[in-house]
A and B are shown apart, each in its own frame.
Chain A
Amino acid sequence: MAAHLKKRVYEEFTKVVQQQHEEIATKKLRLTKPSKSAALHIDLCKATSPADALQYLLQFARKPVEAESVEGVVRILLEHYYKENDASVRLKIASLLGLLSKTAGFSPDCIMDDAINTLQNEKSHQVLAQLLDTLLAIGTKLPENPAVQARLIDVACKHLTDTSHGVRNKCLQLLGNLGSLEKNVAKDAEGQTTKDVQKIIGDYFVDQDPRVRTAAIKAMLQLHERGLKLHQTIYNQACKLLSDDYEQVRSAAVQLIWVLSQLYPESIVPIPSSNEEIRLVDDAFGKICHMVSDGSWVVRVQAAKLLGSMGQVSSHFLEQTLDKKLMSDLRRKRTAHERAKELYSSGEFSSGRKWGDDAPKEEVDTGAVNLIESGACGAFVHGLEDEMYEVRIAAVEALCMLAQSSPSFAEKCLDFLVDMFNDEIEEVRLQSIHTMRKISNNITLREDQLDTVLAVLEDSSRDIREALHELLCYTNVSTKEGIHLALVELLKNLAKYPTDRESIWKCLKFLGGRHPTLVLPLVPDLLSTHPFFDTAEPDMDDPAYIAVLVLIFNAAETCPTMPALFSDHTFRHYAYLRDSLSHLVPALRLPGRKLLSSPVSPSITPHEDPSQQFLQQSLERVYNLQHLDPQGTQELLQFTIRDLQRLGELQSDLAGVADFSATYLRCQLLLIKALQEKLWNMAAPLYLKQSDMASAAAKQIMEETYKMEFMYSGVESRQVVIIHHMRLQAKALQLIVTARTTRGMEPLFGMCEKFLQEVDLFQRCFITELPHLQDSFVDKLLDLMPRLMTSKPSEVVKILQATLRQSTFLHLPLPDQIHRASATIIEPAGESDNPLRFTSGLVVALDVDATLEHVQDPQTIVKVQVLYPDGQAQIIHPKPSDFRNPGPGRHRLITQVYLSHGAWTEPCQIEVRLLLAYDSSTRISRPACLDSAEALPLVENSIEGTIPFSKPVKVYIMPKPARR
């Protein structure tokens, strides 16, 4: 009853609000349209002091102005502008002009002349700058008008000689944004002297103010972005700017050089102080490398980032970036990397570590040592050792990109990447592990490198370990010792962090699959088989043993000789694991055994796929039935739903589609059931008790439709219509049920009106889709709309009831790709018998770790819900940084949930689950229905809710009373 009351209150409330709102809105529109400019005029005339005027203008700026009245407002503003003596007011007016000219639907060419005129007499530099800004706004609104552009450029050029840096900045900005492109130059050639914008901007590269220099470079970059081809001559100027005193100038200059190097990679530039010449891209690369050791870290980050995208650079230069000639006391020394390599190749790896091991060898010719190379020498060595981790990350990223394009470079940078695994900042370590994974196709790890890589497996950060497992999946190992080492370390890891089980198994699966020949000689050792004696059968539940078996079985898949080495129990274990961990253990061709399931040959296209066909057929069957007896329909629906669910379980790639259709059919089934009830014909009072079933059905359909709409990714507008249509039907059902169960007409009025509004909204939002909805509920309803609008609520209800019964079942077209959002909570596991004890009233942090699949934008919509045994529910919004994105469509939530409660006498279980929050207005409010000014009621109607989408996990907790 309470809920019922609440609903009524809510309905009445909304009704009132809406009426008021509409009235006011219409009145306002009528009143303000003509008076807006007038009011401003009066206000400004009233203003006695500049401060007053400023206040009025500020107030005015808060309200939007309609496109029609913009021009009037502008005139008034300008009029006042000429009269005004105070610079700050003029400034505000100028900025308002800019804002107004941006108004949608207003063409600002009519005010351009005025704006330019105001420039003539202006003395204040700030106002001038603001006016130029306004012109920029005007110019960007009229991109198709070359005459306007030319004029604005003229204006800009004229003011470039201004003494204030602000004005010059704006002029350059104007030039950058509006400077004519070369295509137009040819066209304009008939007389107008089109200025060479690039030359003008280039002149300001040597301006005395660093801000202006920066603006000039930015303007040049802007030109480039707009598609103008920059001249190669700028390159020399830009190079000079690299040694500027100001970091923002250098930073911009680095960008400009990069742009030029991409434009003219192959042109030849001379090397100063010698006769040689090199390619421009190489020269630029050297220069940018040089900036990696700049004094300002902003520039260093910029330079390191850009290095990564210079793929055309010659390999000779590229490899220099990793080169740093070591010396000690003027004698050449080998780097630790070289030494490690040598030790490795000479076969004595572990011995020979003593003082003087790195003793310098040959003498260095003092003349030949170049301490500051102008080239790329050691750029990455510096970048990776930088103090700021931002620079290091940028350098690692750049390394990654360059290594992806050059296998030989990948081989060389390996040592450095491996070194980064020991960085002090976790982010950097993680980034370098990811980088390594990305380039792992190009590389083979040496044993000593593998050693270092594997050492990181003991890291206490889960992210790092998992990233490393991922890396190992793709790594090529060169020797069987390497494989053994990796296995040993992984098992160590497993012993130390048992939660990594899944990840380690998966890693070993790939490791085995990649290196069958290397695993083969290890098999007897790993299985501890003996040629003569039978050994004890290992424990089948030991995760470490399973890990070893996963490695071996995956290797055996491509190595037919391997099963001969297995002992009897290994075959038994194989059979067991093949069943229980089928995603990790492949089907083996074992002697004396037939393959049970032949894998689906990839030649079968999805349409020929039998399961796909089955799905289509069963749906067809349902949609085709129109005139079956109610009983039969229900049964068929039930069976189909069951089939679809089972299909979804069997075929993971069809799960989304199957679930989606099953949900839809279930809605339909509920609707049919509700309508089939015999009780509809009874008199209202008698009906009271039995209404439960129908209203529950209505409610459930609503819930299911929300699920359909928000839980599946890949839903298109065609489906959204059908879903909304279903929801409309549910609402109609609700209305009918309420009409039957309540006495009196008062509440019904509001409900009817609301329903009709909704129908109206439906029609407006999906006007394009209406032709597809022939014969449907809404189709019929819209035909009857004029009648409905005028008739009484009881009439409406009757009509609705009839329409609902007659309407046909809509065919739900299936989208190509549809996935159901799902979540699995990995932690807390919910198995613990030890309660989490804490003092009541204080908080305890519960670590939650979950994987989310097919959730779009989880940062905003995924919430964690905690349900206490007393029914108290708590919803927690995780921080955006708690979400990680390990792969496409996958997300990982690692967060902490704070629990607190009063004291309990017994430990008890709380439930933790994940929710998907939705807002019903988000999907419909597409631009299609936004053009109408009355988009407001939409927002009012939006219903926010949540859908649980993970299995709840129980956590045992025990708040103790506080001790005194």
Chain B
Amino acid sequence: MPEIKVTPLGAGQDVGRSCILVSIAGKNVMLDCGMHMGYNDDRRFPDFSYITQNGRLTDFLDCVIISHFHLDHCGALPYFSEMVGYDGPIYMTHPTKAICPILLEDYRKITVDKKGETNFFTSQMIKDCMKKVVAVHLHQTVQVDDELEIKAYYAGHVLGAAMFQIKVGSESAVYTGDYNMTPDRHLGAAWIDKCRPNLLITESTYATTIRDSKRCRERDFLKKVHETVERGGKVLIPVFALGRAQELCILLETFWERMSLRAPIYFSTGLTEKANHYYKLFITWTNQKIRKTFVQRNMFEFKHIKAFDRAFADNPGPMVVFATPGMLHAGQSLQIFRKWAGNEKNMVIMPGYCVQGTVGHKILSGQRKLEMEGRQILEVKMQVEYMSFSAHADAKGIMQLVRQAEPDNVLLVHGEAKKMEFLKQKIEQEFHVNCYMPANGETVTLLTHPNIPVGISLGLLKREMALGLLPDAKRPKLMHGTLIMKDNNFRLVSSEQALKELGLAEHQLRFTCRVHIHDTRKEQETVLRVYSHLKSVLKAHSVQHLPDGSVMVESILIQATAHSEDPGTKVLLVSWTYQDEELGSYLTSLLKKGLPQAPS
């Protein structure tokens, strides 16, 4: 039986290190190749030796697909392609291809330059790796080889994030990557057509959450910023360079524009400028509003947001500053925080989740006195606010996507096991499809029932259509023909044509059957009786009485002879060809019942 096998090397009942192996109709595809944020040892990368012990990866994998540029989806790529060794094609969307190397380079710098690790991939390796990348457009069907094709769908989440459909023949699987079903200020919502894949592999980060409307959160955020600025206070927003940062920028930018505010907004430099540049370029990947208005003005060309300089932090008067990193654990954001923490007019807004142990986490949990390096005690007087902006689909969104795609099976990855359990149960209950949630290294095997296309000759089709009544939509129909399997394809042709093609002579298969009838009369009369009887019963068929004393029903021959031993019994000889089997057997059964009593 044909089957689809899925093995997560990472992200199975876990968040981080996304890497899923799918083999579908003999083709092997690797989906994402990420690193794990939580580990610094070997566990940070997927275990590629699982794929093949000895022998090259290129021989085993047909292609690699990267869904978006977050490091937990692409962080291991240079290691995989250059250090482990893979020369096959890598597919990603254009924005991902553009932004991914920046992030990889940044990651490399932190690991090698800051932490001093050796045996890590180099800048050159990143470049070499990117040379193997093939960029795809949305909804473009890419033929990887003769049979395997992939197609990207819009996924929201971050710029350039895509869901991929992998298709071999009539079997297909969809991998969502990370996606977002509600639009935000700069990106649209994920969308997929009714592609009815055999398998849908979906993320499930927020499997047990149903979120509130985005607008309330946005409004709260803007109101807080606005109030503080009006009071003359300073607002610090610690962010990570890509993704949410752009959303918040757009949000503040449009708000400043709408309300004609004057206070300056700064953005700490570095990664972001490069990234913003790409945001400007890939307008087609953003949401409706930005797409429609960019002719007048590109929304990412910020009017009110300027680059930040360290000296600005001491400027008097209100300002808003976006600074990296997002959890206040180091760098510029922490420096600014220390400067501003003492003033109760100021405010810090944490736009995302903070890991335990970071300053961000401490202040969020209400700590007002922080011990900094060098035994310094920092008293936090500024206001601390928390605002969650997340770009993953919530439980409802996941269900909505499943409903849109109408898959036969669902497989959950990229989430916590306990939460997956709940969603799995819900999906099975509501859609009546199988749902799987394999752990890392665990293989799920699904049986598929692929359709096998068969070519049919037009003549045959028309002939068979003419027999039936209306051509009824989408209903199976019975037809007669010969199936020829030749050169790896199937054809359905009429039997005559099949004979001709194969150069075979036609054999005739004839069934004959004797039916004994008790009748004392002469043979001729018996035949006549049979004739009149059949004539009266089979009104729809042509019944003939031939001059040689036999009866023809269509092409079925009936002859009567006297029984050699018992003259009172007549033997009816019924003979028909294989094609007339239906009518022939009906006739015999009819005759076996005997003739009706003659009126005479």
Contacts and interface: CB of A to CB of B under 8 A. Distances in A.
Contact of A354 (B257, B366, B396, B430): B366
Nearest to B400: A293
Nearest to B206: A328
B163 to A, nearest CB: 13
A384 interface: yes
Interface string A240-263: 000001000000000000000000
B192 interface: yes
Interface string B196-214: 0000000000001111111
B258 A459 contact: yes
A295 B254 contact: no
A326 B218 contact: no
Interface stretch (B126-134, B183-191, B446-454): B183-191
Interface string A279-299: 000000000000001010000
Nearest to B395: A371
Contacts of B460: none
A369 B474 contact: no
A4 to B, nearest CB: 52
Given A371-B430, A422-B215, A424-B254, A295 B260 contact: no
Nearest to B222: A422
A460 B422 CA distance: 47
A330 B422 contact: yes
A38 interface: no
B259 A425 contact: no
Contacts of A353: 385
B495 interface: no
A324 interface: yes
A893 interface: no
A902 B216 CA distance: 54
A784 interface: no
Contacts of A333: 212
A510 B474 CA distance: 65
Contact of A460 (B194, B258, B425): B258
A249 B219 CA distance: 38
Interface stretch (A132-140, A385-393, A406-414, A880-888): A385-393
Contacts of A207: 473
Interface string B141-182: 000000000000000000000000000000000000000001
Nearest to B256: A460
Nearest to A360: B209
Contacts of A295: 191-194, 404
Contacts of A496: 260
Given A336-B216, A355-B365, A327 B287 contact: no
B259 A460 contact: yes
A764 B364 CA distance: 87
B480 interface: no
B525 interface: no
B470 interface: yes
A458 B260 contact: yes
Contacts of A163: 471
A389 B289 contact: yes
A381 B419 CA distance: 25
Given A208-B473, A330-B422, A419-B216, A387 B188 contact: yes
Contacts of A335: 212-213, 216
B426 interface: yes
A161 B219 contact: no
Contacts of A356: 386
Contacts of B192: 295
Contact of B257 (A336, A423, A452, A460): A460
A337 B216 CA distance: 8
Given A455-B223, A460-B260, A327 B216 contact: no
B208 A330 contact: yes
Contacts of A425: 289
Contacts of A459: 258-259
**How large, as a class, is the contact surface on chain A?**
35 or more
A746 interface: no
Q: Is the interface of A mostly helix, strand, loop or mixed?
A: loop
A419 B222 CA distance: 13
B587 interface: no
A208 B254 contact: no
B136 interface: no
B188 to A, nearest CB: 5
Interface in A352-382: 353-356, 366, 369, 371-372, 378, 381
Nearest to A426: B258
Interface in A139-166: 161, 163
A371 B181 CA distance: 14
Nearest to A295: B404
B442 interface: no
A589 interface: no
Contacts of A328: 208-210
Nearest to B187: A387
A326 B210 contact: yes
Interface string A43-58: 0000000000000000
A326 B217 CA distance: 14
Nearest to B426: A371
Nearest to A419: B215
Nearest to B350: A355
A882 to B, nearest CB: 17
B338 interface: no
B213 A419 contact: yes
A942 interface: no
A364 to B, nearest CB: 9
A378 B211 CA distance: 12
Contacts of A424: 185, 254, 289
A458 to B, nearest CB: 4
A206 interface: yes
Contacts of A386: 183, 189
A123 B385 CA distance: 75
A665 to B, nearest CB: 53
A460 B426 CA distance: 47
Nearest to A377: B396
Nearest to B223: A455
A318 interface: no
B422 A461 contact: no
B465 to A, nearest CB: 9
Contact of A387 (B183, B208, B258): B183
A271 to B, nearest CB: 16
Contacts of A831: none
B522 interface: no
Contacts of A455: 223, 226
Contacts of B396: 324, 371-372, 378
Nearest to B189: A387
Contacts of A354: 366, 384, 386
A325 interface: yes
A496 to B, nearest CB: 8
A325 B289 CA distance: 29
A458 B364 CA distance: 32
Contact of A325 (B210, B220, B254, B426): B210
B186 to A, nearest CB: 10
Contacts of B185: 424
A327 B386 CA distance: 18
A384 B213 contact: yes
A818 interface: no
30 contacts: A161-B470, A293-B400, A295-B404, A324-B213, A325-B210, A326-B211, A329-B208, A330-B208, A330-B419, A333-B212, A335-B212, A336-B213, A355-B365, A366-B422, A371-B210, A371-B396, A372-B403, A372-B430, A378-B396, A384-B215, A385-B182, A385-B214, A387-B288, A419-B215, A422-B215, A455-B223, A458-B259, A459-B258, A459-B259, A460-B258
Given A329-B208, A458-B260, 18 more contacts: A245-B194, A324-B210, A324-B396, A327-B210, A330-B419, A336-B216, A355-B385, A371-B395, A372-B403, A384-B213, A385-B213, A386-B183, A387-B183, A387-B287, A388-B288, A424-B185, A425-B289, A460-B257
Shortest 6 CB-CB distances between A and B: which pairs? A336-B216, A387-B183, A208-B473, A355-B386, A419-B215, A458-B259
